[in-house]
Amino acid sequence: MTAPTSDGLIAGDLPVLTRKDFVSNQEVRWCPGCGDYSILAQMQKMLPELRIPRENIVFISGIGCSSRFPYYVETYGFHSIHGRALTIASGLKTARPELSVFVITGDGDGLSIGGNHLLHAMRRNVDLNVVLFNNRIYGLTKGQFSPTSEFGKVTKSSPYGTTERPLNPIRVALAAGATFVARSIDRDTKHLEETLYRAAQHKGISFVEVYQNCNIFNDGAFSAFYDKDVRQDKMVYLEHGKPLRFGKENQHGIRLNGFQPEVVEDAASDDGLLVHDAKQQNISLANILVGMDYPEFPVPIGVFRDIDGPVYDQLVQEQVDTARAKGPGDLGAALHSGETWIVD
């Protein structure tokens, strides 16, 4: 590694980090076979590629199975309270902008009690990396329906089936104005690692939803389209600037009929196929892609949106610098100056 620079990057005089450097001495305590193991492994493999010193990386979590994550990564970490990880992360990043801050959350922690904080972190475009583990169930509390559980799903807390329509995390992120929005799966480790890396490189808020199998309380929730033997026919990988194609031979495509997507079977050419554009400011196209779901369509995986925008913590720091440039203030004079304060 190198001596850390002001933006947290590494120069060339420190030892190069490897995955082992990001593996803590804590016993990983998830159920055997849980998809969380894969996400942890890909994160630990990706972190050395960022070339950031470990002391400049922080993982913050809320409550849930996913929220054990900070214990297992050899960096700074904060296991906070239910739904509040984004508040702590936003404050930390604003006060210490040189840090690289990751937020680990789940579909319950992040979209239920923490939904309000998630929305505001996104609209502010705080420079955070949010990874949401979506298993469509409350796992830690043993199998209640979550905000992403399918309509009508029978669980311990919905014995006759849920009567609530599920939230789509990607659609929420787009509507809130997140500048980087992506989806990956726990079983495609190469794609997951690449997606996490791209998210970490983004300036501004990045949001990555990971389809994660809970093999105890919601086993097989995504198997119909993301298992290895069906994945090529049931998912479409989004690549900026390329037409949407899928299938074992990449033989099928997606086109638009007005605002409605259509599957084109055995598409001989790319003519008329929808070309993915992750750089659009307008979210209309991304919303159309979000609406594609199994079994009517292949499920889209990849980066939906990747744009630039004003970054909250940078703007705050600029205001602080401007105020400091005016010299030290006089608190006593301010308190005794009357009932009205004038800010120049």
Instruction: Identify the residue with better confidence: 5 or 213.
Output: 213
CA quadruple 196, 199, 200, 205: dihedral sign: negative
Which CATH number goes with the domain that contains 24? Answer: 3.40.50.970
What mean pLDDT value characterizes the chain? 93
Higher per-residue pLDDT: 1 or 90: 90
Q: Is residue 7 assigned to a domain?
A: no
- Write the pLDDT tens digit of every residue in 214-270: 999 999 999 999 999 999 999 999 999 999 999 999 999 999 999 999 999 999 999
Residue 344: what pLDDT?
67
Tokens encoding 1 = 């590694």
- Share of residues in the chain with pLDDT > 90 (%): 86
Evaluate if residue 47 carries a pLDDT over 50.
yes
| DSSP letter, residue 13 | S
259 assigned to some structural domain? no
Residue 74 placed within a domain: yes
Q: Please report, rounded to a whole number, the percentage of residues in the chain having pLDDT higher than 70.
A: 95
pLDDT above 90 (res 64): yes
pLDDT at 11: 47
Q: Does 271 reside within a domain?
A: no
Res 8: pLDDT: 45
pLDDT digits (tens, 9 = 90+) for 65-77: 999 999 999 999 9
Residue 141, pLDDT score: 87
Domain count, the chain: 1
Say if 195 falls within a structural domain: yes
Domain with 85, as residue range(s), is: 19-221+311-325
Rounded to whole angstroms, how far apart are CA atoms 183 and 109?
18
Give DSSP secondary structure letters for 74-132. SSEEEE--TT-HHHHHHHHHHH-TTSEEEEEEEHHIIIIITHHHHHHHHHHT-S-EEEE
User: What average pLDDT does the segment 285-307 reach?
Assistant: 97
pLDDT of residue 1: 33
Residue 230 lies in a domain: no
- Asked, for residue 100, whether it belongs to a domain, the answer is yes
In a domain, 77, yes or no: yes
Identify the band that residue 14 occupies on the pLDDT scale cut at 50, 70 and 90. low
> Six-digit token pair at 327?
């010299």
Q: What is the pLDDT of residue 207?
A: 98
Residue 338 scores a pLDDT above 60? yes
- pLDDT of res. 331: 85
Q: What is the mean pLDDT of residues 27-43?
A: 96
Report the alpha-carbon angle 14-12-15, nearest 5.
25
